[in-house]
Amino acid sequence: MNPDLSQLHPYPFEKLARLFSDLTPPADLKPIALSIGEPKHPSPDFVMRTINQQSKHLATYPTTKGIPELRQAIAAWLQRRFRLVHLDAETQILPVNGTREALFSFTQAVVNRQTRPLVMMPNPFYQIYEGAAFLAGAEPWYLPCTAETGFIPDFDAVPAEIWQQTQLLFICSPGNPTGAVIPRDKLVRLLELSDQYGFVIASDECYSEIYFDETDPPVGLLQVCAETGRHDYRNCVVFHSLSKRSNVPGLRSGFVAGDASILKPYLLYRTYHGSAMPVQHQWASIMAWLDEGHVIQNRALYRQKFKAFRDILDPVLPLQMPDAGFYFWADTPTDDESFARLLFGQAHVTVLPGRYLGRTVDGLNPGENRVRMALVASLNDCVAAAERIKALL
């Protein structure tokens, strides 16, 4: 077996199952899961209709590059959303089966394992970044995201010798689990560092369409490239998904876009990897990328839930609103594991201990004494969860 497999940590939900293994929650309370970021809002009707209408393609082998119509729909969305002028649907966009598989496979294609590479990532983080680095033969380098840093990495605190070893930098904006958005000036600074040291920036932006002010959407990496005249998006790629934006996590549909010189060899890797999106899903994805009405309604639902949840809990558990996304990254009155056990054992509410999303470096795990609460359930369930937590505290 690949010896790098031994470096993988148990996934957070495996740890959570062990944490709760000796608990029996109240049987008279409906279970409410705030632990996993799986959207529960209704999927758009037109997605299923399109899949049914295109079911003839079950007899068609999909191509890895995807149909031209899908790449063109994605390009049109990117140009509208991030005000891009120069974007080639033929060379600068690749459809993928959700960002999770793309983040992993992209790392395998980019990393040159012969040079003691580093893959840099925020801490806490989405676990795929770390696992992908290990299995690409790289060493993770963790950038602490704490309240003191505004939950954004301090890129200028990284020593020059670390940047010199870094081949790939993961950023996540809006962040998982913190909800922090990396501002323009920080992204401009990253472009300068990338030019100086030659590393690739992989920006995970799958929460970019869940925000609270319709007039102020989160800025994206390609947007900053365009604003600074970097129209070839040199050393920059972004990852987007329909899972959160359109409430279709089971569709497994997203894309990677950016530097054509990176996407060309990545396409070769994907061709061998065998990860083409089913054609009927591609046509359904086209419809989703072309429609903004359902996304606006989606954001309105999240605004309702965040306000109701926060209003209920504020007297006993003050919550800081995230910049975007659908997570509260909450301080806990006890340590995060004990707090999660308390909520599950007595209120039948499941949250994720923050330490499971981070790593301890120099004695600090930025996730300790915090929990991630995903407001993905219905408004009624989110209100019920908040009322139970309030009563318990």
- What distance in Å separates the CA atoms of residue 154 and residue 120, rounded to the nearest whole number? 12
- In angstroms, what CA-CA distances link 332 with 160, 370, 376? 36, 5, 20
Q: How much is the pTM?
A: 0.96
- What distance in Å separates the CA atoms of residue 105 and residue 288, rounded to the nearest whole number? 24
Q: Output the pLDDT for position 275.
A: 87
Phi first, then psi: give them for residue 248, nearest 5 degrees: -130, 55
- 190-199: burial string, b at 16+ Cβ within 10 Å, e else: bbebbeebeb
- What distance in Å separates the CA atoms of residue 294 and residue 145, rounded to the nearest whole number? 32
**How many CA atoms lie within 13 Å of 108's alpha carbon, on the beta-carbon side?**
16
- What distance in Å separates the CA atoms of residue 371 and residue 330, rounded to the nearest whole number? 5
pLDDT tens for the chain, residues 1 to 393: 999 999 999 999 999 999 999 999 999 999 999 999 999 999 999 999 999 999 999 999 999 999 999 999 999 999 999 999 999 999 999 999 999 999 999 999 999 999 889 999 999 999 999 999 999 999 999 999 999 999 999 999 999 999 999 999 999 999 999 999 999 999 999 999 999 999 999 999 999 999 999 999 999 999 999 999 999 999 999 999 999 999 999 999 999 999 999 999 999 999 998 889 999 999 999 999 999 999 999 999 999 999 999 999 999 999 999 999 999 999 999 999 999 999 999 999 999 999 999 999 999 999 999 999 999 999 999 999 999 999 999
- What distance in Å separates the CA atoms of residue 20 and residue 347, rounded to the nearest whole number? 13
- What tokens appear for 155 in the block? 């890129």
Side chain identity at residue 308, one-letter code: A
Side chain identity at residue 108, one-letter code: Q
Q: Please, is 315 exposed, middle or buried when counting C-beta atoms within 10 Å of its C-beta (0-12, 13-18, 19+)?
A: exposed
The domains located in the chain, with CATH, are 3-42+294-392 (3.90.1150.10), 59-291 (3.40.640.10)
Residues 126 and 101 sit within 8 Å (Cβ to Cβ): no
Residues 373 and 176 sit within 8 Å (Cβ to Cβ): no
Residues 259 and 225 sit within 8 Å (Cβ to Cβ): no
- What distance in Å separates the CA atoms of residue 151 and residue 98, rounded to the nearest whole number? 25
Residues 44 and 296 sit within 8 Å (Cβ to Cβ): no
Helical ranges in 198-335 per DSSP H: 221-227, 242-245, 260-273, 279-290, 293-313
3-class SS of residue 162: helix
- 43-78: burial string, b at 16+ Cβ within 10 Å, e else: bbeebeebbeebeebeeeebebbbbeebbebbbebb
- What distance in Å separates the CA atoms of residue 289 and residue 97, rounded to the nearest whole number? 15
